[in-house]
Amino acid sequence: MMHKLALVLGGGGAAGNAWLIGVIAGLAEAGFDMTKTADLVIGTSAGATAAAHVRSGIPAAELLAAVLAPPTRPVGQSPEQPPSLPMPQVFERMRAIGAAATSAADLQRAMGAFGLESDSKLGPAAAGQRRALVAARLPCLDWPDRPMILVAVDAHTGELAAFDRDSGVELVDAVTASTAMPGLAPTHAINGARYINGGVRSGENADLASGYANVVVLSPFGGRSGPLPEGQFEGLRREPEWGTDLASQVAALRQQGSRVEVITPDADSLAAMGTNQMDLATRIPSARAGFAQGKREASRVTLR
């Protein structure tokens, strides 16, 4: 027997995170509130942070208002920004790893090795600083009662790590692991293992929604045609035969009997998100564009 509805939130940097919240708020405004109706929420990278907000119990309209509001935390009280390697250097290395990979497993192991290698350059204090920053951005530090999966990758083995409330892992650690970009953030230690960003495996990891009658995928990067702008982490090489690209995962879900709807940024949202989705200045315009798009898209997001 299939479960009813899974919501999949993909990676996409600061702009993608804000766009996800905007779309969810727009859908709710139009009468389809997935903060209440989703039986499972799956989050990867920026989508992991969004998932924690969606499952927090805060109404969708309030989540959007928080994105649109100017920062209220005094600068002196903000968590210290952790160090990172120069972005051009990091993304050059990522492109080289993607080009050399012969399989998804090979790419994931190589990215894990890059993350572990970068740790010594980022310094011993970086991991604690980054965890504090992630914690400060979460509306609640406890796992929700309703099912949620946050995706990371084991830096040593390259294997999938799907964290939920029964994993024995604190929520802030699961989000920190899922968002740990090799080179831009330290690998994150959990119970003796170290983890990197779940987007290394897949920008969406929609295959984890197997068994759900309805699957709604919100993919900040899924609508891009051709190569992503330089500096976009989830633009790592995907091959259909690897099964890690969104189209392959959606096809597999449909073959299993799931009804799948995929929402990707429309022209207005793409313009708002810009070419550097890591830029915090893109958050407000991306959230606004996502909200407008969500209201337009609601008519095709129905349950069976």
Report the pLDDT value the prediction gives residue 234, as an integer from 0 to 100.
58
| Alpha helices (runs of H) in the chain, residue ranges in sequence order | 13-29, 34-37, 46-54, 60-68, 87-100, 104-122, 126-137, 171-178, 246-255, 267-273, 283-297
Res 22: pLDDT = 98
What span, in angstroms and rounded, lies between the C-alpha atoms of 18 and 114?
A: 28
Domains and CATH numbers, the chain: 5-67+83-300 (3.40.1090)
SS3 8: strand
pLDDT along the chain (304 residues), means of 10: 86 95 98 96 98 98 95 58 86 90 96 97 94 95 97 98 98 98 95 96 96 96 61 71 92 96 96 87 96 94 78
Task: Decide if 22 contacts 294 (C-beta within 8 A).
Answer: yes
pTM, two decimals, is 0.94
| pLDDT value of position 199 | 94
| CB atoms inside a 10 Å sphere around CB 268 | 15
Cβ atoms of residues 213 and 258 within 8 Å: yes
Helix (H) or strand (E) holding 219: none
Q: pLDDT value at position 1? A: 47
**Can you give the pLDDT at residue 239?**
86
245: which 2 tokens?
């690209």
- Quote the CA–CA distance of 231 and 94 in Å, as a whole number: 9
Tell me what pLDDT residue 220 has.
94
Supply 301's token pair: 């997001």
